[in-house]
Amino acid sequence: MSFYELNARYCRLYKEHAAWRLLRTDHAPLILAIIADLFEETNGVPFGRAKVALDSELGLWREQRRWDSEVNAAGYLRQWIQSGWPRELDDWLSIN
């Protein structure tokens, strides 16, 4: 594949692929950390468990002034699901 073909491919992925969109977010390291922590031992977790874990982390991040939004954990999880980072089916989140 030529340089120009590769560049076109990566430009398309940069615009369209969920993982690339995640890496462009302002809080990508924090989002990746919570996702990695939640799915460290399994490919799926209940939505409620993810919400509780994220609520806890958001509280700590806000205390440390690393997170300035007042959106709650469920709201963030819904945004992340819509972005395609975890998937949700029947209140179960997965990363497959």
Please give the average per-residue pLDDT across 78-90, as a whole number: 90
86 lies in a domain?
yes
Give residue-wise pLDDT tens across range 15-42.
Answer: 888 888 888 888 788 888 888 998 999 9
What is the domain count for the chain? 1
18 lies in a domain?
no
37 lies in a domain?
yes
39 lies in a domain?
yes
45 lies in a domain?
yes
In which domain, by residue range, is 77 found? Answer: 25-94
Please give the average per-residue pLDDT across 78-91, as a whole number: 90
- Please tell me the distance from the alpha carbon of residue 84 to that of residue 86, in angstroms, as a whole number: 6
Give residue-wise pLDDT tens across range 40-56.
Answer: 999 899 999 999 999 99
Average pLDDT value over all residues in the chain: 89
6 lies in a domain?
no
15 lies in a domain?
no
pLDDT-based confidence at 75, cuts 50/70/90?
A: very high
Q: Do 18 and 49 form a contact (C-beta atoms < 8 A)? A: no
31 lies in a domain?
yes
pLDDT-based confidence at 90, cuts 50/70/90?
A: very high
- Reduce the DSSP state of residue 89 to 3 states and report it: strand
